[in-house]
Amino acid sequence: MPPRTQRFKRKESIFGLFFLRRALCVLGGKIIKEFSLESIDPQQLNLYSYSINNPIKFTDSTGLSIELSCDSKENCATATQNFNKRKGKQFEVSLGKDGKLQVEGNVDLKKLSKAETALYNAIADKKNNATINVVGDTGRQEFGVHVGKGENTVDIQNLSKLDSPSNNGGLNSGDALAHEALDAYYSLSMDANTADIEAAKLYPGLYEPKQKNIQELWNTPRTKLLGMRYMQGITDGRGSMQITVKFNTPIPAIELDSKVNSKEKIQQTLKSAPARVLEVNFSTGKIPTLNVPR
């Protein structure tokens, strides 16, 4: 039997499997219907209670049409503040008592950019309602995900990493929220992929990382996968963002060994592993190739 390090050698990164199924943009392309908490170490749970099944719902449905469905009032407030950080912002939003976004003050529609016009129209469209589930900690690595027609979920803690100094120049939490809002809104009238592409034309998203731009983060004896780091281009071409995520519980190498488990099983293991975004770093220019351990 070869030594342990040899045994886990593979030609392809295991994340190829993981990312292949992802849509264009990792901010919101992935369709995830449920979140699993089962394998989270209780010590990893933080002060934000996980309550996606018990969101603060507002009953008045006569208002405008991008609704925030939040796991706490604080996270609703944070998401609203985040919205107002979007690049190229030409109007402020606030949260109505009905849980729906409303535009503050008077807006000269003729002066709005294409992106701001689209966001304004989505908010002002009373016939079609899109919902953003606002969750403090989804237990997942995404900033935002598409969950179904007219519905996206965002992770407030992950989004906050976008606003750190290391990501200055990259997408911020407001850009990401505006992207997710339009993605949810467009998905009412088009398929998920098209909705994501259309949203990205107005508020950029992130391209799926290429194989060579995904780095696996193993412990030193290479017995456990601790996390991963991937480089993703921003869809408006301004540069790329390096995103470092950590699995809440390291994944034993044996569970990711294709000699022992089917590709589907490995993919499932990676997909369901609770993870958090640790760090986001922006860089301009070409996407630097990460050194993938072999």
H or E segment and range at residue 15: helix 15-20
Selected from 55, 99, 204, 205, the binder of Zn ion by CB under 5 A is 205
Near Zn ion by CB under 5 A, which window of 41-49, 93-101, 188-196, 285-293? 188-196
**Sign of the CA dihedral running 233, 25, 281, 91:** positive
d(CA 176, CA 27): 7
Hunting for tokens 């996980």 — which residue is that?
Answer: 50
Q: State which residue, 24 or 214, has the beta carbon closest to Zn ion.
A: 24
CB of 26 to Zn ion, least distance (A): 7
**Site membership for Zn ion, residue 99 (CB under 5 A):** no
Residue 73, C-beta contacts closer than 8 angstroms, at least 6 positions apart: 56
- Name residue, tokens 């919205």: 83
User: How many C-beta atoms surround the C-beta of residue 208 within 10 A?
Assistant: 18
Rule CB under 5 A: say whether 178 interacts with Zn ion.
no
- Is residue 27 a contact residue for Zn ion (CB under 5 A)? yes
Running DSSP on this structure, what letter comes out for residue 292? -
CB of 73 to Zn ion, least distance (A): 27
Rounded to a whole number of angstroms, the minimum distance from the CB of residue 232 to Zn ion is 11
CB 205, min distance to Zn ion, A:
4
Sole window of 8-16, 110-118, 199-207, 252-260 interacting with Zn ion (rule: CB under 5 A): 199-207
Closest CA to 136 of 57, 51, 29, 27: 51
Q: Site residues (CB under 5 A) for Zn ion?
A: 25, 27-28, 196, 205
